[in-house]
Structure 1
Amino acid sequence: MTEENITRIYLEGKELILIGTAHVSKKSAEQVKEVIEREQPDTVCIELDEQRYQSIMDANKWKDMDIFKVIKEKKTTLLLMNLVISSFQKRVAKQFGIKPGLEMIQGIESANEIGATLVLADRNIQITFARIWHGIGIWGKAKLLLQIFASIFNNDTISEEELEKIKSQDMLNSMLDDFTVAFPRLKVPLIDERDQFLAQKIKDAPGEKIVAVLGAAHVPGIKEEIKKEHDLEAISKLPPKSKAPTIIAWMIPILIMAIIGYTFYANPTAGFQQTLSWILWNGSFSALGAAIAFGHPLAIVTAFLVAPLSSLSPLMAAGWFAGFVQAYFRRPNVADFETLSEDVYSVKGFWGNKVTRILLIVALTNIGSTLGTVIGGADVVRLFLENL
């Protein structure tokens, strides 16, 4: 059997066999099977975390999701990103008749067949998303969300060049490739830290012979990082938040309220105009976001009423309230969860499924509220300056 795409490392009495796979290639899956059967390793490491492993092993996992809990724990954006990646995978599968991640499934099956220990070697995808989210400012977050929505609307066929890129990267890397060009520092949580995490997990795996099934893009980094010791706990949690964003987040609403208060004192009519402007800009854009997501009428009304107040507190977001109202009046049923994995493939499905519609309402309402805050705040300042 050819040693192509295979890297052997001898370290601390262990033989580490790294298989660099293409994530959308049947040949890669066949090679994984051949290598594991021939080498009979003590342990097989795969580039999956517990969440993605459960997704593969339990196709009905969506049925157990508590949408109210997702909103309450502020995980709607992370879940939306997961679903968009799933949509991207299905586009690839449908166009080329291949199943993304087939080599990982083969690694799991082959490990079970020979009785090898199975190690889930990748970092929790939620931690990766959270560290990416933490590493960009408010405009970066807005740009990332816009890119996510753009990928939903993008029904173009995938070119051969794009397919080759997908083959050498994992789905997450492929989807965010353009974004990392605009924000180079995101390469650290997206690629570098995962290389470190994977390397340490492979090195610490039990047994003397270890086979690791990896995306080809990670192999060069792992070859370098495996020579070092890495603190997995340090790269598995959010870094401490800087106080500056929190201070700014509170200073802006305090400044807005102070300006309106002073204007009311100097000119009550102008103060009333400021208040009305703030309410209309915030409420209208927030309600527009909920309406674009085809929200329940009461969810749209909630977005309008809550946004002017939630924009004055960093602890609240209009989208959460609108999402709760939508979930209450349009509660997802079993069928919505059963068809979720298929519905995320199309724009019609994304907007039609009650689960994803709730997520869209939360996200679009918050985006609208942010735009309303910027425009409404600027109008408040304009009226203040005119009445000095």
Structure 2
Amino acid sequence: MSDTADREGSVTVVGTAHISSASVEEVEETIERERPDVVAVELDEGRYRQLQGETPEDLDASDLLRGNTVFQFLAYWMLSYVQTKMGERFDVTPGADMMAAIETAEGFDLDVALVDRDIQTTIQRFWARMTLSEKLRMIGGLAFGVGDSRAAGLVLGIAIGIIAGPIIALFGGSFGVTDALLVRVTGAAVLGIAAGYLLDRLGRGRLTPDGRLFAAIGGGGLLGIGLLLTGIVDTYVEAYLGGFVVNAVGSLALGITAGILVGSVVALFLGLFEDDRPAEGGLDDLSMEELTDTDVVTMMMEEFRQFSPGGAEALIDERDAFIAHKLVALRDAGYHVVAVVGAGHRDGIERYLREPETLPPMEDITGTERGRGIPWFKVIGVVFSIGFIAFFVLLAMAGVRDGFLLRLFAAWFLINAVFAFSLAKLAGARWSSAGVGGAVAWLTSINPMLAPGWFAGYAELRHLRVNVGDISRLNDILSDETRPASDIVSDMFDVPLFRLIMIVAMTNVGSMIATFLFATYVLPMFFAELGGVEAVGREMIRGAQNSADLIWRTIT
């Protein structure tokens, strides 16, 4: 950089739209007119290298497979894909404004400064700042097309139902769930879901997302209620579906129904605090003129701000402060700087430049952010693990013969291994990777904090290289809407990053299915050997008494 001794620095901020050709021209004209010492761009090292066409940076396996990082990656992919689609709409390459700034600076032999925070840090802090309710609403928005309290209630209800289903299958008889009721519920559930799916498909292109959701739930629900009240398909259900299917589907349907009722109450409660005013504008209403006022990614996050202030703070406000820190340091060093940033960041950055004493400490806006609130997933994982271990220990303390417990454990191991292995192979895993996932599935199933897919993914990465360039390949594949869906999916599996994610996800799904089937079908068969569920309960109570007696004798 040039000598800046005894010189007062300055910063000129250019706010651009990342997919606007007018912004490209403004950037080039401003740099040519100002001839600064430094051109600062809203990029981190990784994105800079990608724009320069360098070999994409390999992704760190430990980062990709750890905890919530898959969700963070999907959020990043979503933003990247939407920006790519918007660039196609206006025939401008995303990031053209930043590339123009870099090339113009190089043309005048000016220094370039990268002043944005690392994208992985931003996405991690964005996800961690979101509350459980906000995450449920975001997932519901992606899955069902609406992102308000109804989606949160629906997603929460389904989650509760998946947990309640096996409990009903095991202990339903103790509180009035008969075989006849399960038969009727199964028929109503199967045909109701089929009707809802058909109505949703028919509503595409004709109804709004809200209309499709109401039509599917309303039509399928009314049919299901009618079948539940009349029982006109009970005979066919008993004739064509076995006892296992009836027990599994019926108990799961009862659980999800109860869960959705709970979720509806939660949705009503959340709705009391929700702003029902429609957002003005939106991505579909954008014109080229409006793109000069804000960049598309920031505008999307401003919509998120309505229901996730913490997430928007991490994605927008913290980055304003981070970039301003970098610019203030350059100005204080005496450099004349032209800063090229998304227009949505301009006001916040200029405010900090005018009042640098208001900048938050750098350590507060960098590094990994811990999630806020009670870590419910961890709590549930610990409770489930303790319950599983207690089940075997109490039966052993009650004097249940070792052969019974050994066969029960072998069945648990086998069903988890088969399903986790099979679905991992279906996703394209190597034999060795699928074998690793299947071998550890029994252990990870008793602790939701772990996942067999992580282990299968680590094994697969010994033979697979993934990098951030895979995201661009996925965007290119998804952008071709003229090809059949089967061809698109097939090509996506050829992208290492997508195949890795699918291997991780499908291995986990296999273990989840196995856990449900074990609870609803295998356990009742073993319990029958001891006299049924009530007899098992008595044995566990006796085991607890024996354990207490043993502990008391040891102490005294």
What TM-score, normalized to structure 1? Answer: 0.73
Distance 1:277 1:176, change over 3 A: farther
The residue type equivalent to 1:317 in the other structure is A
Which runs of structure 2 are paired with 1:27-66 in the superposition (5 Å)? 27-62=22-57, 65=58
| Contact 2:124-2:369 within 8 A present in 1 as well | no
Report percent identity of matched pairs: 27
**How far apart, in 2, do the equivalents of 1:277 and 1:144 lie?**
38
Distance 1:40 1:331, change over 3 A: closer
2:436 maps to 1:302: yes
Partner of 2:347: 220
Distance 1:289 1:110, change over 3 A: farther
Distance 1:133 1:263, change over 3 A: farther
**How far apart, in 1, do the equivalents of 2:346 and 2:465 lie?**
42
Distance 1:168 1:243, change over 3 A: closer
* Counterpart pick for 1:99 among 93, 100, 103: 93
2:117 maps to 1:127: no
| Contact 1:261-1:271 within 8 A present in 2 as well | no
Partner of 1:196: 321
The residue type equivalent to 1:254 in the other structure is I
- How far off its partner does 1:362 sit? 2.3
2:365 maps to 1:235: yes
State the secondary structure of the residue aligned to 1:233.
helix
**How far apart, in 2, do the equivalents of 1:32 and 1:119 lie?**
15
Deviations 1:91-132 (A, max 9, x none): 334443210111111111222223333221111111112212
| Contact 2:37-2:335 within 8 A present in 1 as well | yes
Partner of 1:360: 502
Partner of 1:110: 104
| Contact 1:311-1:317 within 8 A present in 2 as well | yes
| Contact 2:24-2:96 within 8 A present in 1 as well | yes
- How far off its partner does 1:251 sit? 4.4
| Contact 1:85-1:171 within 8 A present in 2 as well | no
**How far apart, in 2, do the equivalents of 1:24 and 1:323 lie?**
35
**How far apart, in 1, do the equivalents of 2:406 and 2:292 lie?**
59
The residue type equivalent to 1:319 in the other structure is G
| Contact 1:45-1:210 within 8 A present in 2 as well | yes
Partner of 1:5: none
Distance 1:318 1:99, change over 3 A: same
The residue type equivalent to 2:53 in the other structure is D
* Counterpart pick for 2:458 among 324, 337, 351: 324
State the secondary structure of the residue aligned to 1:119.
strand
State the secondary structure of the residue aligned to 2:362.
coil
Partner of 1:17: 12
Structure 1, unaligned runs of 5 or more? 1-11
State the secondary structure of the residue aligned to 1:18.
strand
- How far off its partner does 1:42 sit? 2.2
Distance 1:179 1:296, change over 3 A: farther
The residue type equivalent to 1:341 in the other structure is S
**How far apart, in 2, do the equivalents of 1:251 and 1:180 lie?**
34
**How far apart, in 1, do the equivalents of 2:140 and 2:435 lie?**
24
2:402 maps to 1:254: no
Deviations 1:141-188 (A, max 9, x none): 68767878999xxxx9x9642677877555654666665554332112
| Contact 2:299-2:344 within 8 A present in 1 as well | no
